[in-house]
Structure 1
Amino acid sequence: MNFYEQSSGRGIEVCVGLTLLFIALVFAALIGVVFANSAFGSIAVLGSLALALCSWWFGKLGYRLVFNKPRKGGGLLSNHGLKMCCVFFGICSILLVFVSILQREVSSLFSAISMLIACLYGWQFAKKRQDKDL
């Protein structure tokens, strides 16, 4: 079994789940801040929808971890959900590589490269899990 596929233990799952639930609450509170400090324009509505989506996603993951409720197919994320996270964080990492080079930030450059490697591993893991399911 690969190191990244080993169980972290129930205690760590609960701690990460509580952290994710806290993040979901922060995103939900930000929706209130957006509406309290801006007019009800299209930008505020779109921003609030994006914040609501983030809040829902982090809340769902936190709920699954805290209450030990895995997906029906097993795991925390679906294959497509894992791939979408890898694409999102991969694109952000590539952008951070360029920004780090422009601003000559070596630590940010190494962080972005590390995240890009993690995204590539996550993509391969999702593909392997998808091939195993077929």
Structure 2
Amino acid sequence: MDPMGLQAVLIGFHLDDDGVGEELSGILNFMMQFGEPDDLLQMCVNMKEEGNLLFKKNLYDEALSMYDKATKLLCFALIENEEQNSRFFDLAISLNLNLALCAFKLNLFAQGRELCSIVLNFYPANVKALYRRAL
């Protein structure tokens, strides 16, 4: 696992959007309140779970937005130990796979394939990413 490499790719892909400045402001405010990496990782898990509930209700736009916010927040995680490294990696992979699935449900096929390629760069044997990229 290469958390620094994965984090750099996440930053390049997910923080290179128009309108990210407003979201960054919220993220930075959150980090000032809960600066511990474990708190930030847990917040991302909570956001992912909220996205999962939205997805199950077929609210793909809203789920995509929630996963995207969680991924952007994850870009700011300052990993301090191996346990956090493992949580970061698993969460980053899961969020990008969920984003890809939402993208496919919304007919955003190029974005979905790109997200799967990001996953495969760091986890080449990921069956979900291989399958979804082939769609």
TM-score (ref. length: structure 1): 0.35
TM-score (ref. length: structure 2): 0.35
Give the greater-gyration-radius structure (CA).
1
